[in-house]
Structure formats: C-alpha cells, structure tokens
Structure 1
Amino acid sequence: MYGAISLRRMLGVGLLRSGQCREWSPLWSGRTSQGRAQFVSSRAEGEENQRTVNSLHSLSVDVARVRQLKRWVLLADEAYVSETADILKEMGAKERTVARILQRCPEAVLCAPVETSPQRELWASLCPNKEELLRIVEQFPDSFFISRNAGNWQDNIEYLQQLNLNKRMISRLLATCPQAFSNNVRKNRAVVETLQQTFLQLGGTQANMNIWLMKLLSQNPFTLLKPPETVGENLACLQLLGFSKAECLQLLTKLKGLILELSPPAMEESVGFCERELHCSGEGLRQLVLRCPGLLYCSVAVLQERLSVILGEGFSVEQVKGSPAVLEVSAHILRHRIRKLRSLGYSVERDSLALLDGTRKDFEASCGKMEQRRERPLFNPAAPLNIED
C-alpha cells in the first residue's frame, strides 16, 4: 500500500520538487540553452493561437479538454503541431495514438523538431524496436517531450550500463524518473555506491548485490533523487530501535527504497505508537514491523485514525496484530470495505481481518467468493436422491 501512488503522479511531483523541470506556462518567457521557443503570446491577453487550435482539431485532439487543463499551450505564439504529429507517425503511431498522446501532453507541440529528433534518437538507442519506443512515449509522453539535458542523460545511461543494467530497464527508468538522468552522474553514482555498501554491510553478498540493486531501482527509481547520507541515518535509527543488520536489510528491501523518504524522528514516533497502542514490545514489536514495514511510513495521526476505525467497528487489538497490513489501508477505504463485507454476511468474530487489506482487485475477488457462497443453494436439486426401497 505504501507504493500505491502511481508513478505518473510521482513523476509530476518529482519534476517540480527537484527543480529539474520548469512547469511550462505562457507566463514564462525566454529561451533555454537548447533554444526552446518563447511561450508568451504577443496577441491580446487570453487570445488563443487559432492555427494551433485548428491543427489540433484536424488531428482529432479534444481541444476542449486541452483548454480546460492546459489552456496556456493554446496561447503560445509558436507551436509545431503537424511536425510533432509527423515525428510520432514516423515512430509508427496511428492517428488515434497521435491524438491520445497530444491530448495527454499538449505541451509536446511546443517542442521544436530540432529538439525532438535528437531526443528520439537517444530513446531509440535504448529500445529494441519502434513498437517498444512508441509504447513508452504513449505511456510517459511528458518524459519524452519535456525533459531535457542530453549531456547528463548520456553520462547516466553509460554509467548504468556499466552496472550491467540492460537497455530495457534503463529505458523504463528514464521514462518513469527522467529527472534522475538530468542529475550530474556523480550524484547518482554516490547514491548507488551508498546502496551497494549498505547492502554488503548488512550481510548481503557480492554475488547478489547487483540483482538486489536492479530490483530496488526498478521498483522505485526515485531512490536516485534522495541524498545518499539519508540511508546511513535511517539505518542507524533502525538499529537503535533494536533491529539486527539482517532485519534492517529485510526492511530496506521490503520498503522498496522508500526508507530514503523517512526520517529518524518519524520512524521513532511510528514505532512508539505501535508499542503503546498495540501493546507489544521487544521481539513482538520488531516482528510486527517486519511483517508490515509500511507502519514506518505512516504518520502517527494516520495510524491513529485507521486504528480508531477498526476498533470502532468491533475488532480487537489482537486481530489487528494478527493482520497489521490492515493499517496500511486508508480510513475511508476501511469503512467502505467493512460495509461491503457486512452486507455479504461478514462477521467480526468469525472472519479474518486480513480480508480488509490488499489491493482493490484482491478485495473484489474476496467479495466475489463470499457472494458465491451466500447464493449457493442449501442442496443441489439436480443431484440424485439416495432413497432406499
């Protein structure tokens, strides 16, 4: 549950927070070192570029939606709608796909072809074929069209290849977290080397180190954006809380790099809450956190709200300790799921609290099984009757 935030949403937030990408706006004027066009309109304030509007219409783009979400794109003096569409078509995109991409990322039409063509060549060098490249562009158009810093990108790609990461994985990292590639390669090298050293210090083996690192980066590429010293600070805190080196490695792996987003005070507060409210300490407390590392990621206020909902519905603390992952589910979703289960005959005393956690798909599957049991007839009318003569 602690990884529930979609990569696309994280991408947008990360770009703005990291300062690696300026949020395009018609209020911003000027040219970057790459020669990006000016986006300030010279027409009357609020007047749209009719040529841009007509070109988007001709490609079946929902201009009304663009106007609602990113109207400033329609105000720009310069736009390259047909040129951008041609580049996408050369990559194998059908007309419907072109419209879908430009609707999701209309600012793509503000990129001059002289910028987009080299970008396409770099991405193509990482993808085995046009189909794979087009799939990535369709899924992450912002990464393809907006992010720029070719020099650092190439350096970081070469460095990751030295770590034996294959091109397919690098292309996925580039798509989901392009701002990490805009960093100086020294910054990413420092993070990677810190993770490698930490893995070995906690008992990992040299033979498994790269496999572990690749899995960690693929699950959470935003790990590369965090200060490397955060790793040591947080692991030192976990050891002070009583976790062994092997247990720290287990937590680092299960949290998928999210441990870099935590802080010692926050972890101490969360562990203190579990000790106080769930009445466990020592080995029992450590096992609870190891079973549900997301407890470290939730604030005390969030944990308190969720626990209050669960206890208010008649569950016991012992049941919560038996299924701690339920505390990773939001209070709103907990209420909804409890109502749904009760309508299907769920019993607080009889049934497992574990039915409340898991993904939406898991929960719906559990509900489906309960509905089948409830609708099943008491006897099978088609079955033969055993009647003695």
Structure 2
Amino acid sequence: MLRIATASLCAYCRRRAQILSFRFCSTPSASGVENKLLVDALYDLSVDIRKIRKFKGWVLFQSTVYVSETAGLLRDMGADGPVIARVLEQHPEAILCRPEDVRAQRDLWESVCSNRRDLVGIIEKFPASFFTVTHHANQKDNIHYFQSLRLNKRIISKLMASAPQSFSRPMEQNQEVVRTLTEAYLGLGGDQGNMKIWLQKLLTQNPFVLMKPPEAIVENLDFLRDRGFTTEELLRLISKLRGFFSELSVDGMRETLAYSQDVLQCTDSELREITLKCPALLYYPTPILADRFKGLLGAGISMRQVMDTPTVLELTTQIVLYRIQKLRSLGYDIRTGSLEALNGTKKDFEVSHGRLHLRQERPLFNPVAPLKGPEE
C-alpha cells in the first residue's frame, strides 16, 4: 500500500485544520488543493471520496497522512476491505494517526475485548472512539480503575466505545462520580453485595452518567427527600431510573411534578405514589406529558383511571390511540375498563368468551419499566 508521509499532524495543526474545514470544503484557497496521492490511495481502498468531501473534506488537504499503515493495521486485526472502507468513510481522521499510536490503541483495547473479531466490530461502529489516540494515558488509567471495581470486560469495552469522553478525561473524575453514586446507593439502604450489579446496569443503560457533576446527583436526591419521599422510596426510584436519574434536574422535576399534580388534582401523598409507579413523571418534559394527558382525555379516559394505572403515561399518544382503537374493535370499552389493557410494551389483543386476553410478545426497551425488586 502506498505510503504518503512519515510524520503526523500535531494537535494544534489538526485543530486548525478542523477550524478551516468549512472553507476548504466550500472553496479551496489558492494554495490549498487536495492531496492527489491521498485521494488515489483512498480510491484504491474503495472509499467513497464523495462522503469525505461532503462532511470532512479538510482531511483530503493534509500532506502528512498514513493511509496504507492504517489500512494494514485494520487488516491485521481481521477487517476485510469493505469494513476498512466504511471505517475510513466514517472517520477519515484515522489516517492522521501515527501507526505507533494506533498499535498502542489496539493493544489497550485488546485488554478489554475478548478477541480481535469483537474489536473490529467495535471499530466499525465507533471508529472515532478507537482512534482517539491523544488521551492514551488517561484511557489506560480508567481501564485499570474500572477493572479494580470488578466490572467485566464487556461492560468496560462498551463504555469506552459509547462514551469515549469519559475515558479520555483523568481517572480521578470518574472515580469521584462512581464514589458519589455508590455512596448514594448504599446510603439509601442498597445492598453491598448487589452494588456491583447495580453499577453495571446503571453504566450500561447510560454511560454518559460519568460526565455528570457528582453534586447534581446529591441535589436530585435532596429535592425528592424534601418532597416527602422516604429512604426506601428513593432507593426504589433510583433503581428503576438507574442511569437516567443523573439526567434529571431539580427545576425540571419541580415543573413536571407541579404540572402533573395540577392535571390529576391529587394530594402530595398520592403524587408520590403515582411517581413511584411511573417515574416518567420525573423524566419526561412537561410538553410530552401534556400531549399524553390530552390524548388520554380525548379518548374518554378519566384522570382517576390514569391515577390507578399511571404507567400508561410511558406510552406515546400514537400507541395509546392505536391500542384503544384495536380494543374497541374487539368490543372492549377502555372508558369503563382497566387501563392495564393498554400497558406494557408490545402486545396483541384477543377476546374469547367475552373476556379480553393479552398476548405478550418480545418486550421492547423501556427505560422506566418497573423492575422485579427494589434493587434489581
């Protein structure tokens, strides 16, 4: 494979090139022309140059690149031609990385990947995560830290792929967030023996929880405690919401709870019970809840029915109206029956002997679906 250059861009030059990318993509300067050798080398790899020109054309103007070396390293890991082409189309900046840096990344990622086939699959889906070579030391420290927590390799590799920013920053920052999370969990009565599983589920569901300020988690707990939630109830809430708990804000919760209480015309105690059944009241913005309340009322459903089965608010208005229509065609009047017929994830309905039966299919992902136990 053709070698085009022998030294990589410095960090400043790479950043400068990114700043100038729009100018290069639109109208190249008098002295700025595409590197023909680079373009030809990418053509030889069956890379769609049009995609690169459209989104990251500045890369094609660089004179110091490593096309053959990058392709060779990917090929040595087991990537075939089409995979290599897709990786370079998605993340052409990969050819700016020095081969020794890419080899170091490969060795680092292999420490948390079961085999090279899995690693190639990650690179194909998350090329930018793998080719983030400028924070190698931080990545290494963070891997060692999460391994010390006894998180399995699969979880760590998924975190590195889906939330690379958290592995690029100093390990101490992640350590502080994890400490805050575990202290909150244990402080609410969570089981020490179950903490590892809880933490793995939390990080898997929302890997960006590591990027949240630790104090935000404490503020959320304090707000809910001030609203009358007991320690046991708070544990139930954070166990149901897991990683999404960090996405909440005091202002957002205050607004949605006030709106929901106004619509439902319920007491503070009733509102807490409804929230425990349906944490979506904390998570969804007011406009979404307003649309769902409106859809339910328009279908003839009473607020008392919603209070009895608040998890119906987790369903979009379109899904609710579709299921109501289907139930109506089967002779079931949702206005006088239980809203449990609408609940769940993906269901089929049938009526036999005058009774409604639900056929449960493979469930879809539901971030606030109730769990089996308070700490599962």
The TM-score with structure 1 as length reference comes to 0.75
Q: Are 1:195 and 2:181 an aligned pair?
A: yes
* Aligned residue in 2 for 1:278: 264
Q: Distance in 2 between matches of 1:106 and 1:88?
A: 14
| Pairs aligned (count) | 332
1:168-201 superposed Cα distances (whole Å, 9 cap, x missing partner): 2211111111111122222111111111211111
Instruction: Give the superposition deviation at 1:46.
Output: 7.2
Alignment of 1:1-389 (within 5 A): 31-32=10-11, 39=17, 44=30, 47-146=33-132, 148-330=134-316, 334-335=317-318, 338=321, 342=325, 345=329, 348-349=334-335, 362=346, 366=348
Secondary structure of 2:11's counterpart equals coil
Q: Give the conservation status (yes or no) of the 8 Å contact 1:153–1:182.
A: yes
Deviation of residue 328 (structure 1)? 3.7
Taking structure 1 as reference, are residues 74 and 236 closer, same or farther at Cα in structure 2, changes over 3 Å only?
A: same
Residue 162 of structure 1: how far off its partner (Å)? 1.3
Q: Equivalent pairs: percent with the same residue?
A: 43
CA distance in 2, matches of 1:147, 1:313: 55
The alpha carbon displacement at 1:149 in A equals: 0.7
After alignment, is 335-344 or 150-159 more displaced?
Answer: 335-344
1:219-259 CA-to-partner distances (Å, cap 9, x unmatched) read 22211111111121110111111111111111112112222
Distance change >3 Å, CA 201–CA 139, structure 1 → 2: same
What are the Cα deviations for residues 16-56 of structure 1, in whole angstroms up to 9, with x where unaligned? xxxxxxxxxxxxxx7228x9697367963774333333332
Change (3 A) 1:36 1:91: farther
Q: What is the SS of the residue equivalent to 1:255?
A: helix
Cα deviation, residue 302, structure 1: 2.8
8 Å CA contact retained: 1:137, 1:144: yes
Q: Which runs of 5+ in 2 are unaligned?
A: 1-8, 351-376
| Residues 157, 170 of structure 1: 8 Å contact kept | yes
Contact 1:37 1:112 in 2 (8 A): no
Report the Cα offset of residue 340 of structure 1: 7.9
CA RMSD of aligned residues (A): 3.0
Q: Counterparts of 1:127 and 1:47 in 2: how far apart (Å)?
A: 40
Q: TM-score, normalised by structure 2?
A: 0.78
Code of the aligned partner of 1:126 = V
SS at match of 2:54: helix
- Sort the Cα spacing of 1:111 and 1:197 in 2 relative to 1 into closer, same or farther, 3 A: same
**What letter is aligned with 1:118?**
A
CA distance in 2, matches of 1:204, 1:31: 48
**Bigger mean CA deviation after superposition, 303-312 or 162-171:** 303-312
Q: Which runs of 5+ in 1 are unaligned?
A: 1-29, 371-389
